[in-house]
Chains A and B, each alone.
Chain A
């Protein structure tokens, strides 16, 4: 799944739980340019659902969620907007 686009930055936040998973992902997205893709690696199951959902609510594009282990997910989020949707 990660092959269709170029990942600009990978954020490994295994060991982190909600809501810090989203907080860290959001701070990382803020640093990217529009169109760039952030890969987020999490091992906290709720984060695999919550982080993409929160990103979508803020108007960013979730390109995919890939489960790579029993408790490991790679989330791919493209930055679509500078200012989050409110």
Chain B
């Protein structure tokens, strides 16, 4: 493709990089990435992917913007209170870069609809705030062989891992089942320092861009844990589990199951 004059200027700092170049920029422009959640994590992910010129960004979220979101969910703003987060995120990211086409999926992911939604994308980013969705997304990505960049945040800490089905562990390889409902606080009751999802989401965006460009060492088989108070990064090696119920040698989970049936409540 030929870049427009505006694109040459907009992406000049990418094009200069030997690891990117015009060629890599074209790859970014033709990439399709799905974001599960337009909240604390999804906000910076989508922001940086749009800035990078990722051509198609799907945003899956059925929530509406609330005042308590704005301490960390930077895709939204005070004027958009009450509007759909997916629509608000689309407005923000497309205003940053109209090369990024943002597709709104204002639905809650279920076992019934997830394949139809993420099937259109190359890479999936999990920024969800609940275990049923987290496991559903993991299982669907394993079954559909989609690269998944998964992350979670809690209080002052966050973790990230890149899941390349068939090439490394999946989420269930090391956290086989969700914790029983009621034993862990949900984000809604836990509290989180606003910048924490900003840092962790930006790490996710970095892994997405690396995956699209095929550069560097992916965070595959390594769980990265970042602690804001200690300002420490720790990487824990996590092997693929041959007994994993979804990606092991003899999987016992061969169909997607509704979150509620294995986790109690969302």
Contacts and interface: CB of A to CB of B under 8 A. Distances in A.
Nearest to B26: A30
Interface stretch (B12-20, B47-55, B225-233): B12-20
A30 B23 contact: yes
Contacts of A86: 18-19
Interface residues of B, number: 11
Nearest to B13: A19
Contacts, number: 30
Interface residues of A, number: 14
Contact of A27 (B3, B18, B19): B3
Interface of B: 3, 8-9, 12, 15-16, 18-19, 21-23
A23 interface: yes
A84 B18 contact: yes
A53 interface: no
A40 B8 CA distance: 17
A23 B8 contact: yes
Looking at chain B's contact residues, the main secondary structure is: helix
A58 B22 CA distance: 14
Between A27, A54, A58, A86, the greatest number of chain B beta carbons within 10 A of the residue's beta carbon is seen for: A27
A35 B69 CA distance: 56
Interface string A11-24: 00000000110111
A30 B12 contact: no
Contacts of B21: 26, 30, 84
Contacts of B12: 19-20, 23
Contact of B15 (A27, A57, A85): A27
Contacts of A30: 21-23
B192 to A, nearest CB: 37
B22 A26 contact: yes
Contacts of A20: 8-9, 12
